[in-house]
Amino acid sequence: MLKPAPGAGGEPGAGGASARLSLMPFVGLALIFAAGPLGTDMFLPSVPAITAELHTAATTTQLAITTFMIGMGVGQVLFGPVSDSWGRRQLLISGTLLGVLSSLVCSLAPSIEILVTARLFQGIAGGIGVVLVRAIITDRSKPSEAAKSFAVLMAINGVAPIVAPLIGGVLHEVTGWRGVFWVLTAVAVVQLGVAVRNPESLDASARSEGRVLSTYRRMGTLLKIPEFAGHVLIFGFGFGTMFAFIAGSSVVFQSQLGLSPVAYSVAFAVNASALIVMSVVNVRLAGVVDPRTLQKWGVVLLALGAVALLVVAVFVVPHVPGAAGAAAEGAEAAAPLWLVVVCLLCTITTTAGNGLMMANTTVLAQGIAARYAGAGSALLGAVQFLVAGLVSPMTAMGEDKLMMLALTMCASAVVAHCGNALVVFGRRRAA
């Protein structure tokens, strides 16, 4: 049985460090946490230009996105657990330094092979940053403060997919695709400066003992705790309902429902704003409403939106000529505006649920992990990326993309509710 580390849930946090997390250090950590969205979304407008300049196929250039995402997952799994034994600061410095070097190589890459390889290491650097930022916040914050901090990070994750492609597009027009990576290099330098100035959050007395391999066994130990395993399922598959929209919405809203690229961008931004709004609401409610209650509300909302979209796909779309025709034949459609709005309201509900669920699930899971916050953070991140990889191809199956999107969201929501049942079981058994 895992025991809470000194100070877990008390003053100031699970790491036993004396330094509380004030505003400016948190802003710096938030910049490091944003490495993932920035590295993914700023790059997207440059894909056609990279394909042309490096004389390769578009599918090969897409590997630069795939390897980055793989690197994000690998970085979290490999270095999160190790930080419980070695401490956070030196690993954070090493990760951000790797980010500087890999971004620099991306800027100078003479071939697609070098670019794709550099992107893998850039993703590993981003994964190290994400997993350690979650652990550092757990170390240095009381649960109520951690809930607010995680809610702010979720808001950043909501803003980044809207802003980063715009920034990347402007930079590409002014400087070309290499200029985008030069800016990412500059951001990585700032992140390195933040890491150097960041104090160690995990006191030597609070660190776990044993060899490096034993740190990875602790992930298995954590998963044997029903309540923690339930939180991991809620976090990963709850996020899966939102990522299914991210992966499949372009085809659904443009090809099946007939939106123009500009109109789809607006719809995507409106949907993402729900994550921002609910994250702000969560900041206000943290410390006032129990995070378990907020988590339940979030899970209910994300499931409600998914089920509502499935009802629309099954019972409404077949009776709407424009949308039904596109679903059956793959033709361009011109679905009525009211149907677009109804579908968007369903996905907004699911995204809003994620805004409540993700921050509170993170603080609850990290509270259980206690002194193994690095291993706990790694598990949350690993399952999140695993589920993202699972739901993305599912949304592309079949002819009726709206139906597949709704089914994928519902399937993810069902597993998330199974996780909630596992949490309840674990609490009753521990009582």
Distance CA 79, CA 131 (A): 8
131 & 257 share domain: no
Q: Is residue 39 part of a domain?
A: yes
Q: Is residue 6 part of a domain?
A: no
| pLDDT the model gives residue 180 | 92
The residue segments making up the domain with residue 304 are 211-322+333-430
| pLDDT the model gives residue 8 | 38
Distance CA 36, CA 40 (A): 6
* CA contacts within 13 A on the Cβ side of 73: 14
192 & 235 share domain: no
Q: Is residue 2 part of a domain?
A: no
281 & 402 share domain: yes
Q: For residue 120, is it left (φ>0), alpha (ψ between -120 and 50) or beta?
A: alpha
Q: Is residue 8 part of a domain?
A: no
26 & 62 share domain: yes
- Considering 200, 224, 243, which residue would you say is the last residue of a domain? 200
Residue 339 in tokens? 């149907």
3-state secondary structure of 202: strand
Distance CA 210, CA 173 (A): 52
Per-residue b or e along 206-228, where b marks 16 or more CB atoms closer than 10 Å to that residue's CB: bbbeeeeeebbebbeebeebbbb
59 & 141 share domain: yes
Number of domains in the chain: 2
- Considering 177, 200, 223, which residue would you say is the last residue of a domain? 200
Q: Is residue 291 part of a domain?
A: yes
Residue 147 in tokens? 């809930």
Cis preceding linkage at 318, omega within 30: no
181 & 234 share domain: no
- Considering 140, 171, 200, which residue would you say is the last residue of a domain? 200
Q: Is residue 79 part of a domain?
A: yes
177 & 227 share domain: no
Distance CA 248, CA 408 (A): 10
| pLDDT the model gives residue 16 | 52
| pLDDT the model gives residue 341 | 95
Q: Is residue 206 part of a domain?
A: no
3-state secondary structure of 285: helix
Q: What is the DSSP string of 318-361?
A: GG-HHHHHHHHH-------HHHHHHHHHHHHHHHHHHHHHHHHH
Distance CA 371, CA 375 (A): 9
Distance CA 191, CA 100 (A): 9
pLDDT in 10s for each residue of the chain, 431 residues: 444 443 333 444 555 544 566 778 888 999 998 887 788 778 877 888 888 999 988 778 878 887 888 898 889 888 988 888 888 899 999 999 999 999 999 999 999 999 999 999 999 999 999 999 988 988 888 877 887 888 888 777 777 777 777 788 888 888 999 999 999 999 999 999 999 998 888 887 777 776 667 777 888 889 999 999 999 999 999 999 998 998 788 888 888 888 887 788 788 889 988 988 998 898 889 888 999 999 999 999 999 999 999 999 999 988 887 665 444 444 445 789 999 999 999 999 999 999 999 989 998 998 898 778 888 888 998 898 888 878 888 887 888 889 999 999 999 999 999 999 999 999 998 87
Q: What is the CATH number of the domain that holds 110?
A: 1.20.1250.20
190 & 268 share domain: no
Report phi then psi at 250, rounded to 5.
-60, -50
Q: Is residue 11 part of a domain?
A: no
309 & 353 share domain: yes
Could you identify the residue written with the tokens 């058994």? Answer: 429
